[in-house]
Amino acid sequence: MEEKKIRIGVLASGGGSNLQAILDAVQGGALAFAEVVLVIANKEDAFALKRAQAAGVDSLFLDPRKFPSRADYFEKIIQECDARRVNLVCLAGFLLKIEPNMVKRFKNRMLNIHPALLPKFGGKGMYGHFVHEAVLKAGEKESGCSVHLVDDQFDHGAVILQRKVPVLPGDDPQTLAARVLEQEHALFPEAIRAFVHSPIYPDQLKNNG
């Protein structure tokens, strides 16, 4: 009998190294109970799309400028996810704010990765190098990354798992970002595993994984 797998949809805006970490974990068996069935990017040149193609995963570039409103844009994303029976959405470096229709549709079924130790250094404008600049400016001794549930505020939902890294003397935003990113790649698959086995994840979607 075929085992029912968790069907992951990934939204990305850029390089997609976190997407790759998820694909590798599926492939390598750490996430054997899951499969990535769709990757959507809001940027045509997002390398994440190439990674999806290389892995044989359906990929779509959806241009937000082609939609009358952001709600319409996310409605289209919902439709594409529904068409592939996605039951877990992972935001892997996706830079658009998620509209309420999408938040509602994937309540308790959407995870984001953020390159800091939330609740510190999250919120509007806290993305990419801005995060690491702020961490350095605040004189923090450690930073890290967080995977959290997505709600209607930026970087706000319940934290599932975190990993820490030291902030080292002489760090600049690039060196710190690289140290954090390495941990992100381990964290996202770990957090997916922890999350789908947690009581938050809807029971009917669980399987033998």
Residues in contact with ligand GRF by the rule CB under 6 A: 12, 14-18, 92-93, 113-115, 127, 181, 184
Between the two ends of the chain, the Cα-to-Cα distance in Å is: 15
Tell me how far, at minimum, the Cβ of 169 lies from ligand GRF, in Å.
22
> Which CB atom, from 46 or from 86, has the smaller least distance to ligand GRF?
46
Active-site entry in 114, 132, 148, 185 = 114
In the bound state with ligand GRF, the residue whose beta carbon lies nearer, of 82 and 142, is 142
C-alpha distances (whole Å) from 72 to each of 12, 50, 63, 75, 108 are: 18, 26, 11, 5, 22
CB of 94 to ligand GRF, least distance (A): 8
Nearer to ligand GRF, 18 or 143 (CB): 18
What's the token pair of residue 53? 């193609």
114 is catalytic: yes
CB-based closest residue to ligand GRF = 93
Q: How far is CA 204 from CA 61, 105, 123, in A?
A: 31, 16, 32
Distance CA 38, CA 66 (A): 20
Which residues are part of the catalytic machinery? 114
